[in-house]
Structure 1
Amino acid sequence: MGRIVLSTLMALSFTTSLSFAASPWTGGDDLPTNPLACDATPATATAKPYDGGEPTNAPDRNGKTLKVVDVPKLVGIGYFNATSKGIADAAKEMGNMDAKTDGPSKANIDDQITLIDNYITSGVDGILFAANDPVAISPVLKKALAAGINVVGYDANSQPDARQWFVNQAEFNGIAKAMMDSMAAEIGKDGSFAIVTSTFTTPNQARWISEMQAYQEKCHPDMKWLETVEAQEDNILSFNQSNTLINKYGDDLKGIFGMTSVATPAAAEAVTQAKKCGSIAVVGLATPNAMKPYVDAGCVKSVVLWNPVDLGYAAAYVLRATADGDLKPGDTSVKAGKLGELQVINGSEILLGAPTVFTKDNINDFDF
């Protein structure tokens, strides 16, 4: 909570200019960006050597039943309920994986580390994780690798050498383009927007925001970035932060981005209660079921996401292939059950696929 108060105080001196690319108050990280072309020209894939870790003296697990624990950022929200379902579906389909989900009740990295450490001690064959902090989680994951445990991340990465593979739901610059283009279409080329994210250290949100900033500067240079605020993965805080933005910026605020599956419906609810539907656009990452009421009511036009059930399913298959020795450093693809062959990118990442933009025309075709 202290960091949220601090970010609010700092925001008082926040300028709407984007000349401050290194400012932490965008919510982005300081890693290099690779914005996509402003039109539909696809990116060119660049080969990169394997940069993941390796378990020490891992036993022969080929074809044997794996005892696996899934440790997401937190439990009890729709998004990670969906990834957990995907993992369970894959485990049942394979018939030789005993998987359970056990995450913290809040997106707290210390609780997540403690859980993983306990499972290393009690003994598991594999760990699946979605990190709350990419740096802080890495030592305990390296401890798991040192204990001979197979480690695969999904949704939110660690440092690469702290796990073997990471299943990336979509490339960060692809998400950025889909989000920024959707917002620009709604608020115009010179509209002003703000962001509600989880925390400034959450790895996937920070990467998306950095790529959004780079793409916006390149392709929508006259749009104005007002502020980025933290709201953890908390529904009430996300609503309150959205409401604060609405009151603070008044008519200058034309759009709100929600960077989490909690923040986006909360922002939509805040806009709805403020009677600003049609005046303030909400674009964000969220599950279709959470957004259907707002999309059907016409208050939200664009929701960007992938299928989180498929993400969990893919992660389970990647872990199985890793334990069996079917996925090795240097491989360019991996078989993932009903999803077919998934491509290896960036050395040690598996790409689930391109994001989907849900609109009134297609959102009711999905149920998750």
Structure 2
Amino acid sequence: MTHPRTPNRAAAATLAALLLLAGCGSTTKGSAPTADAGAGTAKADPNAPIKEGLKVAFLPKEIDNPYEALMDRGGITAVGELKGEGKEVGPSDASASSQVSYITTLVQQRQDAIVIAANDPDAVAPALREAMAEGVAVVTVDSDAAHDARRVFVNQADSEEIGRSQIRMISQQIGGRGKIAVLSATPNATNQNTWIEFMRDELGKPEHAGIELVKVAYGDDDDQKSFQETQALLQSTPDLKGIVAPTTVGISAAARYLSTSPQKGKVALTGLGTPNQMRQFVKDGTVTAFALWDPEELGYLAGYAAAALASGRITGAQGEVFEAGSLGERTIGEHGEVILGPPTTFDAANIDDYDF
């Protein structure tokens, strides 16, 4: 697994223990989940051995998404370290219901665990509940499902801080005044919508009174559509000052468009992207700064959580603790949430220190 050389790693490991969410439920074969993931009565056995030969499937939003591929690669690495078998399967589009048939097939294949980045929190919920009723351990990662449709949610960072920090970054880059737009992924993406809610709330603060959010556009986590949406935003709002793209597909597509357009250097772009995607755009002056966590580490943490859940070491209850390989010991918080750690800001001064 790729580990970036970052001075923030120690801080990330410390802050990642400040957990915010939690749920609990039985993972016993054949037992149906309760109505609320926090209402289960099963007890974890923290001394239970991790089962060898666990079959863990990673189900991304879209199989061709580079970010998701990195995340699932980290998860498969984790499962391999535990002498299990990990695999990635998923749809070629990021529509709300595209993951449902894959969940059904994975249950039929008798996978021990499913780790899913949900395209839609509700569309996948019935199939995930059926999977849990069949004894499959369900973990969500990056983008959550309904709380009663999984036991553990492995989150990148605190959602509120992600959303608010995006506005603070764009505000700094446009001098605190002007029109901005958001280039999101899909309209139903849980993580995107949560971040955007906090963005709107942050914009309501007096210090951001000079900034106007004119539109939230959706590129559907598709490179070409995100490229076209960027073009449309600039055409519909000629005096646009900034774009926030909290999606790795969206920010790289927007940067590609801006890098060869007359608006380069005039329209600020920030959001969430990988250093390897964005390096050329930082160096050519298209982008000043952006942020992200290590997606491979996110998947790695989810892989260890899935193995602990499938082995009975955890149930998803608040306060439970599990080992996560090179990431150390992690504690489950409220509503079953585990936090990887705070995002890192990348700019011209540090981007060459990272390789992912």
TM bracket, shorter-chain basis = 0.7 to 0.9
Gap change, CA 1:333 and 1:187, over 3 Å in 2 = farther
Q: Which residue of 1 aligns with 2:52?
A: 64
Aligned partner of 1:74 in structure 2 is 62
Structure 1 residue 332 displacement after superposition: 4.7
Out of 230, 249, 256, the residue aligned to residue 269 of structure 1 is 256
Secondary structure of the residue aligned to 2:204 is helix
Q: TM-score, normalization: structure 2? A: 0.86
Confirm whether residue 361 of structure 1 aligns to residue 333 of structure 2.
no
Q: How many residues align?
A: 322
Matches of 1:68 and 1:354, distance apart in 2: 27
- Extract unaligned runs of 5+ from structure 1: 1-41
Percent of counterpart pairs with the same letter?
33
Q: Does 1:54 align with 2:26?
A: yes
3-state SS of paired residue (1:262): helix
Q: Distance in 1 between matches of 2:158 and 2:266?
A: 31
1:221 aligns with 2:209: yes
Q: Which residues in structure 2 correspond to 1:150-299 (within 5 Å)?
A: 150-218=137-205, 219-250=207-238, 252-299=239-286
Change (3 A) 1:176 1:107: same
2:71 paired residue among 78, 83, 103: 83
Q: Distance in 1 between matches of 2:128 and 2:290?
A: 33
Hey, what's the Cα distance between the residues in 2 that align with 1:179 and 1:324? 38
Alpha carbons of structure 1 residues 230 and 93: separation in structure 2 relative to 1, 3 Å:
same
Q: Which residue of 2 aligns with 1:3?
A: none
Identify the residue that residue 35 of structure 1 maps to in structure 2.
Answer: none
Q: Deviations over 1:193-234 (max 9, x none)?
A: 001111221110000100111122125233110101111011
- Correspondent of 2:313 among 305, 326, 333: 326
**Structure 1 contact 52–163 (Cα < 8 Å) conserved:** no
User: Which moves more between the two structures, 317-326 or 278-287?
Assistant: 317-326
Deviates more, 1:52-61 or 1:358-367: 52-61
Provide the C-alpha distance between the structure 1 equivalents of 2:157 and 2:324, rounded to a whole number of angstroms: 16
Going from structure 1 to structure 2, the CA distance change for 1:240 and 1:85 (only over 3 Å counts) comes to same
Determine which structure has greater relative contact order: mean sequence separation of CA pairs < 8 Å that are 6+ residues apart, divided by chain length: 2
Name the structure 2 match of 1:310: 297
- State how far apart, in whole Å, the 2-side matches of 1:276 and 1:228 are: 19
Shift of 1:178: 2.0
8 Å CA contact 2:27–2:309 kept in 1: the answer is no
Q: Label 1:136 to 1:53 Cα distance change in 2 as closer, same or farther (>3 A).
A: farther
Following TM superposition, by how much is the alpha carbon of 1:54 offset from its aligned partner in structure 2, in angstroms? 3.3
Residue 94 of structure 1: aligned partner:
82
Q: Return the alpha-carbon distance in structure 2 between the equivalents of residues 47 and 148 of structure 1.
A: 26
